Amino acid sequence: MTSLLAAALLVSTQSASLPPAFLDSPSRVTVALESAGALPSVSGVTVTLDGNPLVINSVAPGTPAARPRDPNRVVLPGSIQRALGGNEWDPNGAVTEMTKTADGQYRFEATFPAGAWEYKVAKGGSWDQNWGRDFISGGPNIPLVVARDGTNVRFLVNFNEGWVRDSINHPDFVDTPTTVAARQPEQSSDLLDSVVITLNESLTAKAMTGDLRVSIGDETRRIYLRDVLNDGQFLYPREDLGVTIRPQSMTFKVWSPPSKSATLLYGNPPRRIPMTRGTAGVWYVTVNEVPKWQPYRFEFNSYGERRIASDIYGKASTKDSMTSVVVDVSRTNPEVWPPKPLPFSGKATDAVIYEFHVRDLTASPSSGVPEHLRGKYLGLALSGTTLPGTDIPTGLDYLKSLGITHAHLLPVHDFNPDHSNDYNWGYETTQFNVPEEQYAVGTHPTDPIIEFKTVVASLARNGIGTVMDVVYNHSVPSQGERSAFWQSVPYFYFRTNDRGEVLNESGVGNALADERPMVRKFIRDSLVYWTKEYQVAGFRFDLLGMHTPESVADWARAVRAVNPDALIYGEPWTGGGPLRFPKGSQVGLNVGVFNDHFRGTVRGNLDEPGPGLMNGSFDENGLKRALSGSIDYAEGVKDFAAQPGESVNYVSAHDNLTLMDRIGLEADSYDQRMAAARLAFSTVLLSQGVPFIEGGSEMGRTKGGNHNSYNGGDLINQYNWEAAPRFADMTNFVRGLIDIRRAHPAFRMSDAEQIRQNLRFPVAEPGLLVVRIDGASVGDSWREILILINSGEVREFGLPEGSWSIAVMNDLARNGSIGSANGRWELPGHSATVLYR
């Protein structure tokens, strides 16, 4: 997840004026104090409805006052704060405040309980300045795995040299403290940042649309509906929000409980059609005319203001994303529809996922795609293209030849119109049910729908499912007249603090509050819509760690009720905010998460040199965990997964340096780089779990060392098909590994107990790990299989008695024999070798 540079954690919604107050239940009002202060008395507080005072029962403490921010304070926010008895992910928390030891240098020491914790570095008491793994500004969380209770840990930060290190992750650099001074308890304060007012009677839904205000002393402010909208009376279970099309009419429905009135603005020029308030705060109107594409918006009268919004459930949009367009999606199907059924079992471990950006695959003239289709949906859907002057397949035919099962497309949801004319990865969604128009050849609002469906159908015709990379964790923009969410129900769709400041848990401005039932429903309805209407084969969730486990479980159930074989996985981390869905939360949900432990074992550091298997390092237990699917395999060999399908195994993705750029930091010669890449690919494709490949990495893709190319343009991001002949051996090697994996169930066991029973590690010595798989027991034609991982030089190895066929060795990989071996045998250096019989 890197679409923009990280912003401040809190984005102010009001500057000079007082912050809003919030109705968080039918009888409870939350009020942020203008400045930290004492609890006011009941007599000092007034709540009015349309100017008439309401009876107050009590005034109680809300949020305790935060300690003042110090621009020089350095804190380690994260779940480590919870481990030490504080509030987690607090950039101003005293429990992990560091001590300055010299200019630009800081130290912190503490005694930790056992557990898998995470942290970052923050300066100044807020998220304005924060650093994650590899000291990247706004970067990923830093893991801290503590094996035993009572472990002392030392943390060092050096701003002069730009690094953060700790005694667990960097034992060769940071000494483990023998003793740790007792921490002083955090001083509590009697001052408050907010208070909670309880009314004598619960307000009705009709009363809540009135002018609600609260006064404390001389300060008076408006009350907005926030968590009160989670009350059952506002929950709308039906799936007909948006526009329902009939042969002679259209019904428009929109949810906006705070509004006193709502008006449909339909057509061009717009006709004003009053809407009727129904149950749960839903406004509706039926237009009795034959449906045809027409622009429409909603006008709301809420909180004393006139607000105009597009339809958050809209299925088509104008280019500026400000106006929805009526579309009969039943008339948007391409000639070949529905898509051909996929040859996929629904077991995640049977998948081979290949990630790429729609534009990147065909943007270059070397793709052989006609100029007007390059970088477009229809360019991706086109078959028969080759590298000009050769018979080397490109684009769609190349994907088919590689043997992948799923094409993971970077976001194609309609995104920030400010970037619609520029290259962008698209991690800033504006309209969640609309395909991004810049990848369409046609300019009519229905063309993106038709052309994206053509992609889904074309991929399916070639045996490949379409996985959408979805960004439901935040929206762009989050506030103001350009945000349909904000205009429909101000302050509701986004997480805010008690001052109404939008929380930037994503690192890019805001966080959708999926814990609220109607927000969760919106996301559920959107996922179901894409699954039903576009027949996509699955979803990859950006920053899945921001969502609640209840939401993820709800969405997975809803999607699989439509498509039982859907592939669902995501990133178990955040953009700097609280981690609600960490690794381990996926257990029992049939949901996968990206395995950064696997990545670290094989790749090492993300964007700088550092120990990993592919560059000669050897972590025996890390490799055992990786190869066994990160399950609870045995004492000392266990990780976060209950089943192998929960672990998405990868070494590179669109974020950070490409695989080849990362390898180039430590490998000088071509042969060294190819050996490192082969070892990386072998580990990904031969391990239990779900393999994930960074698109183009198998053909030497480079971005010139750019580790965050989200807006880098075609020159940096496009596939260079002219490099394909030079990397043909590598591509064929990966193609062979995929063929082996898909042909042999021994490499893709779907049950943890199967793995424990049939996978063994008979040999583990410095630099060498041997995996032995009982293929016969899982129905494999290869009755016995050996995987030999050698991170060192050429060495002799004594094979088990008998003759063995070689399937993978050096730069060859084939679903069949490329030679035989027996007895004492020379094992290639820095390689993965597969033998069978």
Yes or no: say if 537 and 571 are a contact pair by the CB < 8 Å rule.
no
Contacts of 332 (CB under 8 A, 6+ apart): 446, 449, 450, 453
Contacts of 161 (CB under 8 A, 6+ apart): none
Q: Is the peptide bond before 477 cis (omega within 30 degrees of 0)?
A: yes
Lateral strand order in the sheet of 163-166: 99-102, 105-112, 151-158, 163-166
**Cα 762 to Cα 49, 101, 288, 768, 778, distances in angstroms:** 75, 49, 74, 11, 19
- Select which of 90, 542, 661, 780 is catalytic: 542
Distance of CA 604 to the CA centre of its chain: 21
CA angle (382, 388, 391) in 5-degree steps? 80
Token pair recorded at residue 499:
């001052």
Q: Which one, of 108, 283, 135, lies nearest residue 605 by Cα?
A: 135
Q: Which one, of 317, 267, 324, 332, lies nearest residue 445 by Cα?
A: 317
Cα distance between residue 746 and residue 753, in whole Å? 13
- Select which of 571, 620, 639, 661 is catalytic: 571
**Cα 489 to Cα 256, 312, 318, distances in angstroms:** 6, 11, 22
Handedness of CA 673, 676, 679, 680 (dihedral sign): negative
DSSP strand pairing (242-246 vs 249-255): antiparallel
469 has catalytic annotation: no
Cα distance between residue 461 and residue 576, in whole Å? 41
Cα distance between residue 64 and residue 36, in whole Å? 9
DSSP strand pairing (502-503 vs 212-216): unpaired
Distance of CA 802 to the CA centre of its chain: 48
Cα distance between residue 140 and residue 119, in whole Å? 9
C-alpha torsion 400→402→408→412, nearest 10: -50
Q: Is the peptide bond before 20 cis (omega within 30 degrees of 0)?
A: no
State the Rg of the chain over Cα: 28
DSSP strand pairing (820-821 vs 804-809): antiparallel
Cβ burial 616-652 (10 Å sphere, 16+ → b, else e): bebbbebbbbbbbbbbebeeebebbbebbbbbbbbbb
571 has catalytic annotation: yes
Cα distance between residue 507 and residue 120, in whole Å? 13
Token pair recorded at residue 576:
């700097």
Contacts of 52 (CB under 8 A, 6+ apart): none
Yes or no: say if 614 and 663 are a contact pair by the CB < 8 Å rule.
yes
The catalytic residues are 542, 571
